[in-house]
């Protein structure tokens, strides 16, 4: 392969694109849209994180300001868990607008995560938000098709293709040179985005940590592979088309099918083949199993009546007043274990249904590089479904530890003897509330995040190899006429 010829063809393609002047209005529009996307992403991140951190602190103050109180009342008083936005959510909003970000935590009950942006917005949100990732994933490929459809086809129309080939330049040099030229044009749009993103990340809470750096580098690498694929496909379609008009129609059909129709279709198929229960159906199923297993608040419940007899027998006493711990706290602790186990089993089944739904879309990445880059972009930005599940799990773990801590305090510090009508109600010192740590959301590590998207990584790499292989293969088959 003649390197000089490749660079000359790339330079010629670059200069011809600027001579047509069609690129200038496109660049102007893209700069404006990208500037708006960058500002809205930064504004959304800073505003929402400030609000969530503020109310997390307020929830903590409210918890600690409670007076001396019975620990079981504190267990029901509960607290809140707020999900902070990842710094890279400025780049890719992902599913954050559709998943909740706050949950109320209380004993014996697992509440849903609420307050998603979609719940406060109009139906227009389902058409997507303007983020830097959305522009790079959907709009920029269309721009690449628009700039590159003439790459080879126009040379064939003008009759210059035969001249180039007759001068000793091979098809491989032509296709690689055109692809490099097109990638050079892509960098005019892509490099400013990654530089702006880097600047915005320096303003994020915690700064540029090692995890953020790795995620940022992963995003840059994935998008570069994606644009190589799109650029090579554009040049190959132009090379096999009889005219530039024919190439443009083919590329527009490719964009419409792969970027609009196929993603929507796979989502619909996932919901069709793996239907998920409604919120009411889910809660009803949990409640039904809880009633069958036992109600810790019902003294006549068969399960807990048998438990009481077993406890009295084990301690060789005839009444709960003789036990060395508070029996009500013991019952609440066992009831919390039971209800949490039942709820988590149902939640795991529900999450498996969601995973199967997402699995159909994920499998489609094998035939659609757009789905692969979309999944990887959300994962690396901490705005994917797995990140939401991680928050849900952390919040539930905190809720359970909070409830059980209050139950243990009741067992240790509250007497089994009920206070009389003139006695002061049983309470413990408010200092115990401060001893229990506040909720702190932890982002998933990049290793954990990428393990969940190994198929998308494999698909994107496979598409990259296939596109280069297709270029080499077609360089031996394509005709000049």
Rounded to whole angstroms, what are the CA distances from 341 to 134, 174, 338, 393, 404?
40, 64, 5, 13, 14
Give dist(CA 342, CA 69) in Å, integer: 29
Neighbours of 163 (CB within 10 A): 12
Alpha carbon 475 to its chain's center: 40
Specify burial of residue 146 (Cβ count, 10 A radius: 0-12, 13-18, 19+). middle
Nearest to 218 by CA among 92, 98, 99: 92
**pLDDT given for residue 136 in this prediction:** 96
Alpha carbon 222 to its chain's center: 16
Neighbours of 314 (CB within 10 A): 9
Question: pLDDT by residue (tens digit) across 123-138?
Answer: 444 555 789 999 999 9
Those residues whose C-beta lies under 8 Å from the C-beta of residue 229, and which sit 6 or more positions away, are 369, 460, 463, 464, 467
Under a CB-based contact definition with an 8 Å cutoff, are residues 382 and 201 in contact? no
- In angstroms, how far is the first alpha carbon of the chain from the final one? 23
Nearest to 457 by CA among 393, 397, 369: 369
Alpha carbon 188 to its chain's center: 28
Provide, rounded to the nearest whole percent, the portion of the chain with pLDDT above 70.
96
- Whether 61 has a pLDDT exceeding 90, the answer reads yes
428 beta partners: 69
Those residues whose C-beta lies under 8 Å from the C-beta of residue 131, and which sit 6 or more positions away, are 37, 40, 41, 91, 92, 93
**pLDDT given for residue 1 in this prediction:** 60
Rounded to whole angstroms, what are the CA distances from 333 to 166, 296, 340, 395?
85, 9, 11, 19
**pLDDT given for residue 115 in this prediction:** 65
Question: pLDDT by residue (tens digit) across 338-369?
Answer: 999 999 999 999 999 999 999 898 899 999 99
DSSP 150: T
Question: 109: which 2 tokens?
Answer: 């009950």
Question: pLDDT by residue (tens digit) across 432-462?
Answer: 999 999 999 999 999 988 998 999 999 999 9
Question: 272: which 2 tokens?
Answer: 């069709």
- Whether 92 has a pLDDT exceeding 90, the answer reads yes
Give dist(CA 236, CA 253) in Å, integer: 15
Under a CB-based contact definition with an 8 Å cutoff, are residues 465 and 169 in contact? no
Give dist(CA 257, CA 248) in Å, integer: 14
Under a CB-based contact definition with an 8 Å cutoff, are residues 94 and 383 in contact? yes
Give dist(CA 303, CA 323) in Å, integer: 19
Those residues whose C-beta lies under 8 Å from the C-beta of residue 312, and which sit 6 or more positions away, are 318, 319, 320, 323
Q: Please list the alpha-helical segments (H only) found in 364-453.
A: 369-380, 385-413, 431-435, 446-451
**pLDDT given for residue 88 in this prediction:** 95
Q: Which of 15-29, 243-257, 360-374 has the lowest mean pLDDT?
A: 15-29
- Whether 267 has a pLDDT exceeding 50, the answer reads yes
Under a CB-based contact definition with an 8 Å cutoff, are residues 68 and 409 in contact? no
Give dist(CA 234, CA 241) in Å, integer: 11
Those residues whose C-beta lies under 8 Å from the C-beta of residue 243, and which sit 6 or more positions away, are 153, 156, 157
**pLDDT given for residue 167 in this prediction:** 78
The full length of the chain comes to 481
- Whether 466 has a pLDDT exceeding 80, the answer reads yes
Look at residue 104 and give its three-state secondary structure. Answer: strand
103 beta partners: 81
**pLDDT given for residue 117 in this prediction:** 61
**pLDDT given for residue 384 in this prediction:** 93
Q: What's the whole-number average pLDDT of the chain?
A: 89
């Amino acid at each position: 392969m003649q390197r000089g010829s490749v660079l000359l063809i790339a330079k010629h393609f670059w200069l011809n694109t600027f001579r047509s002047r069609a690129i200038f209005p496109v660049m102007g529009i893209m700069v404006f849209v990208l500037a708006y996307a960058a500002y809205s992403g930064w504004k959304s991140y800073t505003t929402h994180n400030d609000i969530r951190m503020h109310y997390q602190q307020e929830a903590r103050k409210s918890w600690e300001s409670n007076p001396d109180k019975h620990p079981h009342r504190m267990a029901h008083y509960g607290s809140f868990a707020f999900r902070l936005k990842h710094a890279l959510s400025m780049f890719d909003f992902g599913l954050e607008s559709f998943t909740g970000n706050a949950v109320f935590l209380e004993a014996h009950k697992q509440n849903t995560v609420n307050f998603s942006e979609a719940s406060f917005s109009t139906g227009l949100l389902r058409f997507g938000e303007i983020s830097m990732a959305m522009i790079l994933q959907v709009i920029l490929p269309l721009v690449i098709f628009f700039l590159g459809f003439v790459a080879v086809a126009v040379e064939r129309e003008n009759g210059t293709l035969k001249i180039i080939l007759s001068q000793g330049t091979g098809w491989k040099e032509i296709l690689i040179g055109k692809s490099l030229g097109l990638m050079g044009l892509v960098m005019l749009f892509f490099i400013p985005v990654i530089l702006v993103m880097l600047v915005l990340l320096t303003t994020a809470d915690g700064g540029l940590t090692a995890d953020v750096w790795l995620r940022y580098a992963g995003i840059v690498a994935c998008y570069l592979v994606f644009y190589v694929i799109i650029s090579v496909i554009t040049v190959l379609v132009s090379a096999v088309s009889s005219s530039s008009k024919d190439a443009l129609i083919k590329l527009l059909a490719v964009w419409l099918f792969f970027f609009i129709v196929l993603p929507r279709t796979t989502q619909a198929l996932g919901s069709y083949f793996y239907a998920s229960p409604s919120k009411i159906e889910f809660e009803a199923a949990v409640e039904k199993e809880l009633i069958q297993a036992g109600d810790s608040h019902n003294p006549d419940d068969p399960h807990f009546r048998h438990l009481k007899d077993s406890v009295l027998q084990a301690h060789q006493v005839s009444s709960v007043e003789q036990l060395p711990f508070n029996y009500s706290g013991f019952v609440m602790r066992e009831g919390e274990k039971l209800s949490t186990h039942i709820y988590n089993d149902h939640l795991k089944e529900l999450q498996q249904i969601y995973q199967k739904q997402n699995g159909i879309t994920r499998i489609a990445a094998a035939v659609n590089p757009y789905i692969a880059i979309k999944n990887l972009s959300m994962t690396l930005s901490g705005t994917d479904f797995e990140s939401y599940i991680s928050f849900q799990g952390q919040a539930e773990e905190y809720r359970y530890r909070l409830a059980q801590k209050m139950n243990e305090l009741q067992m240790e510090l509250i007497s089994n003897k009920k206070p009389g009508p003139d006695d002061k109600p049983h309470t413990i010192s408010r200092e115990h509330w401060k001893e229990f740590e506040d909720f702190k959301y932890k982002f998933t590590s990049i290793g954990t995040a990428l393990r969940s998207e190994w198929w998308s990584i494999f698909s994107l790499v496979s598409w990259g190899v296939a596109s280069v292989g297709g270029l080499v293969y077609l360089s031996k088959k394509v005709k000049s006429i």
